[in-house]
Amino acid sequence: MRHFISTLIISLITLSGFIAQGQDNIALEATSQNQWTGLTVSKENRLFVNFPRWSDNVPVSVGEVVNGHVKAFPDKSWNKYTGAKADEEKFICVQSVFVDAENRLWVLDPANPKFQGVHKRGPRLYHFNLETNKLVKAYDFDEEIIFDNSYLNDVRIDTDRDIAYITDSNVGGILTVDLKSGETNRYLTGHTSVQSEMNYLRFSNGLWENKVASDGIALTPDHKHLYFAALSGHTLYRIPTEKLTTKVSEEDRKDAVEHVASVYATDGMLFDDEGSLYMGGLERNAVYKLTQSGDYRPVTQGPKVQWADSFTKDPEGNIYFTTSQLHLSPEQRGLYKIYQIEKPVEENNGKILMVITSHGKLGETEGEPTGYYLSEVSHAYYEYKKAGYDVDFVSPKGGKSPVDGYDLDDPVNKKFVNDKDAQQKINSSMTPDEVELEDYRGIYYAGGHGTMWDLPENKKLNALTAKKHETGGVIGAVCHGPAGLVNVKLSNGKYLVDGKTVSCFTNQEEEASHADVVPFMLESKLEERGAEHMKSPKWQKKVIVDGRLVTGQNPASAKGVAKKMIEVIGKK
């Protein structure tokens, strides 16, 4: 076995001298009562998770996180495995999910529920089309490469070669699937690099006694090397991918395995866009990063990180991880969580003006309470802050505005409500007369049904928006927020949205909500103003960019609108 660059051979004694980072740089994204392991993000920022069948408490095997809640993917029927023969074509025990560079969703089902042995159907790798949410193909594995106690654990997709790389964490080994021919192979079985080094890990609460072989894997950005490690161990290895995709002897293949570094035990691992490898630091309640230069340091460490299980990144390169709390007894565990590792904030990028409603009734003068929709404010607010933008608020009446959608199970909402600076700002919003327009790079209209009554006819906000657009600013709006755009006219007398492609709260969504109360149907009104309306199915995300106008369909689209506004501002 060859050794990699000597500077990367790091001893655990040296590691213990590093000063750990705090936990201010991770943000809670989602929580669950059920134990998840894998997660992945699509190019449209759709977040998928999976729940392995390690107990009887697995209501969903694969889910999509929508507004902080898990929705069965692709539908409920796929997730209703009971052990009956009729259920063999459904998800049996899903261990990982992965979206590749071509935006294909892969679901790895080891079919070994409760570790009681591989189901007679055998493991499967599923490919789903994310435009249709339909199954494209299911790959079975040749019987001779699957052992009775195999547990296929993690998957990465080499889109250059159309090859899937998979670990077996019970027997130990690397499996490949040729995604064109369906041919499956198994390599390195019995080799030291894929075997557990010990039968326990040591935590502050005692020993976690378990032998887990090759577990996490990561494919380098150039697809030239596959990194892997046994969970019950402290050694990181890699192998050139050509040794797994070309015909060489198994002896040559084993000789090609390289020792990279001594590390803390890790479950999952993932390369970021810069080529740094993110890994768990399980025994230290940490996430570590190994750079190309060999620097190995904690990114975050502390009690929030209870077994960093799997990692993913979104289209902007932000890293996310799950906590599965495997080292804790069931009674010691709290909610299972997903955290985002926040990038250092870039300073002095300017300001965003966020428009919120002052109207608090579902009616002109009376009706049920409404206001601005909290998640459409909070999710956008923190995207702007992360990108280095300050955020100010304006409303027709100024001061404190009524709020709707006060869901504190949404961790971003909870963060916003407990953020003293954010609360001070939003509860003392400016009036339109107080806005110094040149201070802002863009204007974002948050939704909530209240906008339908007071934003369309606010001439001062209309004028501010028209001027900002005509002087190079970026305009964004989500859900009912585009109500603030329906009467915005430019200097040429045309409506701002005339000839633009837009998205907003759809007529179909309104019919399922408050169609009997609102003063007009927003989708129809925008079309009357000359806009072309684009939409997703009810309650699904949709973000449309047309020049310097960015619009979104519903609350689930708020974060995406903010991200796209930031992107468009950066291109100016």
CA 49, CA 323: separation in Å to the nearest integer?
Answer: 12
Range 368-384 average pLDDT: 97
Rounded to a whole number of angstroms, the distance between the first and last alpha carbons of the chain is 52
pLDDT at 347 over 80: no
Range 419-423 average pLDDT: 95
Spatial contact of 128 and 143, defined as CB atoms under 8 Å apart: no
Spatial contact of 229 and 213, defined as CB atoms under 8 Å apart: no
Inter-CA distances, 425 with 199, 252, 422, 428, Å: 54, 64, 5, 5
Give 3-state DSSP helix, strand, coil % of the chain, rounded to 5: 20, 30, 45
**pLDDT at residue number 82:** 87
Range 412-421 average pLDDT: 94
Instruction: Categorize the per-residue pLDDT at 1 as very low, low, confident or very high, splitting at 50, 70 and 90.
Output: low
Phi, psi of 77 (to 5 degrees): -65, -35
Give the number of other CB atoms < 10 A from CB of residue 20: 16
Those residues with Cβ within 8 angstroms of residue 78's Cβ, 6 or more apart along the chain or in another chain = 61, 62, 72, 90, 91
pLDDT at 518 over 70: yes
Any idea what DSSP says for residue 299? E
Q: Scan for tokens 């009616």, then name that residue.
A: 363
Closest CA to 388 of 448, 441, 459, 330: 441
Instruction: Categorize the per-residue pLDDT at 88 as very low, low, confident or very high, splitting at 50, 70 and 90.
Output: confident
Question: Which residues form the catalytic set?
Answer: 479-480, 510
**pLDDT at residue number 7:** 35
pLDDT at 433 over 80: yes
Q: Which two tokens stand for residue 116?
A: 């009681």
Q: What percent of the chain has pLDDT over 90?
A: 86
**pLDDT at residue number 62:** 98
pLDDT at 8 over 60: no
pLDDT at 2 over 80: no
CA 52, CA 37: separation in Å to the nearest integer?
Answer: 7
Q: What is the pTM of this model?
A: 0.70
**pLDDT at residue number 25:** 85
pLDDT in tens, 119-163: 999 999 999 999 999 999 999 999 999 999 999 999 999 999 999
**pLDDT at residue number 16:** 35
Burial pattern 165-202, b for ≥16 Cβ within 10 A else e, equals bbbbbbbbbbbbbebeeeebebbbbebbbbbbeeeebe
pLDDT in tens, 287-342: 999 998 889 999 999 999 999 999 999 988 899 999 999 999 999 999 999 999 98
Give the number of other CB atoms < 10 A from CB of residue 10: 17
CA 65, CA 67: separation in Å to the nearest integer?
Answer: 7
Give me the domains of the chain, ranges plus CATH numbers: 2-341 (2.120.10.30), 351-571 (3.40.50.880)
Degrees (nearest 5) of the Cα angle 19, 22, 23? Answer: 150
Least confident of 73-87, 96-110, 462-476: 73-87
Phi, psi of 443 (to 5 degrees): -125, 130
Spatial contact of 251 and 257, defined as CB atoms under 8 Å apart: no
pLDDT in tens, 16-69: 333 345 667 899 999 999 999 999 999 988 999 999 999 999 999 999 998 788
CA 338, CA 323: separation in Å to the nearest integer?
Answer: 6
* Sign of the Cα pseudo-torsion (561, 564, 566, 571, in order): negative
Q: Which two tokens stand for residue 464?
A: 């501010």
DSSP E strands, 437-500 = 440-445, 474-478
pLDDT at 15 over 50: no
Instruction: Categorize the per-residue pLDDT at 4 as very low, low, confident or very high, splitting at 50, 70 and 90.
Output: very low
pLDDT in tens, 493-505: 999 999 999 999 9
β-strand partners of 259: 3, 237
pLDDT at 570 over 90: no
Spatial contact of 306 and 35, defined as CB atoms under 8 Å apart: no
